[in-house]
Amino acid sequence: MPRVKRGVAARSRHRRTVRLARGYRGRRGSVYRVAMQALTKARQYAYSDRRLRKRYFRALWIMHIGIAAREAGTNYSAIMGRMARERHGMCRRTIAVITSQDGIAASSRAMMLQSDG
């Protein structure tokens, strides 16, 4: 059985790892052992931040809805309570997009929701 040397495979694996870490500061972008650690940590941050991004955007949508509600003379909780009672299918994201694109129509809708209740 012939002897198998694995230098080519290891070299390509190392090169791929260093290529992924290109642009990192210092040895993190050029040395395999350090680049491997940096990539592992970067992947951990990417995983957790994908979940954090959902929280941040929900908070942003709530702020936008609250601002539009105050402009319409009501508050966020009154609008959302009304929407929950009437079982509207609109999510916070949709409401926030409507308020950011067309504040007048959104505020008139908020006034309508407020006056009905």
Q: Give the list of residues 6+ apart from residue 57 with CB closer than 8 angstroms, or none.
A: 93
pLDDT for position 34:
97
C-alpha to C-alpha distances, 78 to 13, 70, 91, nearest whole angstrom: 58, 11, 15
pLDDT for position 88:
74
pLDDT for position 93:
85
Render each residue's pLDDT in the chain as its tens digit; 117 residues: 889 899 999 999 999 999 999 999 999 999 999 999 999 999 999 999 999 999 999 999 999 888 888 888 888 898 888 888 887 777 888 888 888 777 655 555 655 655 555
pLDDT for position 23:
96
pLDDT for position 59:
95
pLDDT for position 108:
59
Whole-angstrom Cα distance, residue 109 to residue 73? Answer: 12
Handedness of CA 19, 21, 23, 29 (dihedral sign): negative
pLDDT for position 98:
82
pLDDT for position 107:
59
pLDDT for position 112:
60
Whole-angstrom Cα distance, residue 42 to residue 39? Answer: 5
